[in-house]
Each structure stands twice: as C-alpha cells, then as structure tokens.
Structure 1
Amino acid sequence: MSVVLVALSVSVDGYITGRDPGAGRGLGDATMLFDWYFDGDTPSQVFDGFRLSEPSARVFDALAGRVGASLVGRNTYDDSGWVHGGAPHPTAPLFVLSHRPVPGMSDGQTLVTTGIEDAVAAAREAAGDKDVALMGGGVATAALAAGLVDEVILHQVPILLGGGRPFFQSLPGHVRLRAVEVVPAPGVTHLHYEVLR
C-alpha cells in the first residue's frame, strides 16, 4: 500500500510561506525557503532546472521518485499558481481539496470536495504502488488529525520568518513522531520522521 507523506520547506519558526501570500502574490516574501533547490552543483534527476547540493539532491530525488500523486489544499493551489496549469510534481497527478469550485482545472488536476478521507483515497488510487505527497498546512493538519499520514518530512531552512502561514495548524491531540533520518546540507536540514500510531 502506498505511503502518505507530508514534505515541505519550512522556516525554523514553522512557516511555509512568508507574509501576505495569495493568488498573484505566490508564497509571499519567503522565496528563501526554496533557495536550496538552486544553490548547488548537482542537477535533480526528477525536476528539470533544480541544482541542489549533493546531500540535498540525494534526499530530494529519492523522495520525489516515490511520489505517484500529490494532494494540496485550495490555498496552496491558488498561492502556487497552479490554477493556470501545472503541478508540484512533473509526472504525478494533482488532487485539490476544496469546498469551493475551482474554475478551469487542467488535465491532470482533480477537484475533491467531500473531505480529506476521500481526497487521500482518490490520490492513493491514482498513485498505484507509489506514494501520496500532501502539501499545505490545512491538508497536512486534516490528514494528521484523521490518522492518514505515515511520514512527515521537513526541509528546515535556517531562517526565522516571524509570520506567514504555519506548516501545522491546531491538532485535536498529540501526534508522536520517530526520527528516521537527519541530513544536514548547505542552507537546509532534511528531517524525516515516521508517524507513530
């Protein structure tokens, strides 16, 4: 069965965007969260144009190679500009969880309006024997609260943003994690956790 994972770049103080993110404004003033994608000499084998440090390329490509479908919330979808087409992964279909209509979705994008359980189930079916990657604080929190997440991966960038959208929102209880791997790299530390049940 496929693994459901959450993997995002995050500041030390827990933000995945800068201040004032939104449609047409991208992820706000937090582009430095993604500098590690382009600050190295090792080209990604999965994403064209990404040049990472050797340790980041090893972690990033291994993770990206596992992904068979992506699931995002509406804010992440709008902020990232995927409303005009595209997706967070070059080959994986994109599922969008939203209670609002999403006009003009492109091929490879699917709207799910019936809740996190149905969205994860649809993404799992599309992923086949590959994994489902969740993106966005709302989707991550809803899936964690529903007990649907198997792994949490933080690409922690050494910066305090002081504001923006937090990675995790309020959870109904504790979620215990077990560290699987910690990989320091230039400009980022990759923290890989297993969700304990």
Structure 2
Amino acid sequence: MPKVFSALAVSVDGFISGRTPAGEPEFGRGLGDAPMLFDWYFTGDTPSREFDGFKLSAPSARVFDALAARVGASVAGRTTYEHSSGWSGGSPHPTAPLFVVSHRPVPGLGASQTLAAGIEDAVAAAREAAGAKDVALMGGGVVTAALEAGLVDELVLHQVPVLLGGGHRYFRELPRHVRLRLLEIVPADGVTHLHYEVIR
C-alpha cells in the first residue's frame, strides 16, 4: 500500500531552516558562517538520477534517489510554500503534483498545484493523485499535523552536523508521544540519513 512519509534536511538541534537577520526567507541557512542544510545535495561526485543538477556523495545519492523515486505527490504547508517562492508554480518534486495546505486563498497557484483546506483533505487528494506511489510531506507544520492525525508512515531525517540555534523546527509540539522504529542509518559526507518507521 502507498505510504505517507517526510524526508527533510535537519540540523542536529532540530531545525529545517535557519533564522533570518532581516526577515527574508533564507531556507536552510543559519546565522553567520553556519553551513547550508542543503550543501550535501551539490558537493558530491554522483549525479542524481531523479533531480537534474544534484551531485551527491555515492551513499547520499543512493538514499536520495530511492526516496525521490517513490514520490507520486507532495503536500506542503503555506509557510514552506511561501519560503520556497511557490516553487515558481511547480513542485518540490520534478514530476509529482503539489497540494498546498492553507486556510486562506493562495494567489498564483500553478497548473500542478492544488489548494487544500486541511491535512486530511490534502493527504487524501495526494494519495489519489499519487496512484501506486507514495506521498511526501514538506514542512514542519504539515508533518506535525499529519502525525497528530495518524497519517504518517515513515520519517527520514537527513541530519546535518550543525547546531543552528534557532529557525523553523522540523516538529512542532504534539499532544502525545509518537514511537519510532529505526530502519536504517546511512553515514555520508556532510550528512547522516536516519530512516524511521512510525509505530502505530
């Protein structure tokens, strides 16, 4: 059965983006000389089979491409959508449609983008669009809401060895514990890939 998962780059202290000095979206960057959370996408010698322009280390390419190949649709929250400049009317995945969760209208949605009022509706629509493939979640708020609703099957943390000290957290406050089972650890240059199954 198709699964719902999240695979995001995250600092060791749990942030998926850094603080911004002047309020501009600066996804993945911390203050001063802190490294980008996404450097590992481009600092290797193995081209991605799924994303043009990505060159990763061999271990990262194996993990990244295996996950990317699973995606049939993506779900993102309003904040992630806006900080990513709406992916210029496209999607975070080159071939998968995007469902944006927002309680307000989102101006300028692209042809491959659909607005959804809540996480349950967004995941249901994304599952239908994905067919036999999986649904990928983007953004801390969306992941937390999906965890609360019992919709998440797997979590992947691409953990980058940096403490950002602030920014947007991967996970928001949850009303209950969520138990995880570690499926795989893959160390690579500049990142460690941690793959968990959500235990229900």
Bin for the TM-score computed over the shorter chain: over 0.9
1:32 matches 2:22: no
1:79-118 aligned at under 5 Å gives the runs 79-82=83-86, 84-113=88-117, 115-118=118-121
Residues 120 and 82 of structure 1, relative CA distance in 2, 3 Å threshold: same
Shift of 1:22: 9.7
Q: Percent identity?
A: 71
Per the alignment, residue 129 of structure 2 pairs with: 126
Structure 1 segments, 4+ long, off by >2 Å, are 20-26, 28-31
1:76 to 57, 77, 80: 80
Amino acid at match of 1:47: F
Partner of 1:147: 150
Change in 2 beyond 3 A, CA 1:140/1:55? same
Q: How much does 1:21 deviate? A: 8.9
Q: CA deviation at 1:188?
A: 0.1
| Cα drift, residue 107 of structure 1 | 0.7
CA distance in 2, matches of 1:66, 1:23: 34
Aligned to 2:16: 16
Deviation, 1:83, is 5.9
C-alpha RMSD over aligned residues: 1.6
- Equivalence for 2:175: 172
Report the Cα offset of residue 180 of structure 1.
Answer: 0.3
Paired position in structure 1 for 2:140: 137
Contact 1:23 / 1:81 at 8 angstroms: preserved in 2?
no
Post-superposition CA distance 1:4-55 (Å, at most 9, x none): 0011000000000010399952416346100000010000000000000000
TM-score (norm. length: structure 1): 0.96
Structure 2 residue identity aligned to 1:64: A
Contact 2:28 2:38 survives alignment (8 Å) = no
How many residue pairs were aligned? 196
Q: Which amino acid aligns with 1:2?
A: P
Aligned counterparts of 2:149 and 2:134: Cα–Cα separation in 1: 18
- Quote how far apart the aligned CAs of 1:82 are: 1.5
Q: Distance in 2 between matches of 1:50 and 1:193?
A: 24
In 2, are the aligned partners of 1:95 and 1:111 still within 8 Å (CA)? yes
1:110-162 deviation line (CA, Å, top 9, x unaligned): 0001x111111000000000000001000000000110000000000000000
User: Does 1:191 find its partner at 2:194?
Assistant: yes
* 1:53 counterpart = 2:61: no
Q: Is the 8 A contact 2:28 2:36 kept in 1?
A: no
Q: With structure 2 as the length reference, what TM-score do the two structures score?
A: 0.94
Quick check: 1:21–1:27 contact (8 Å CA) kept in 2? no
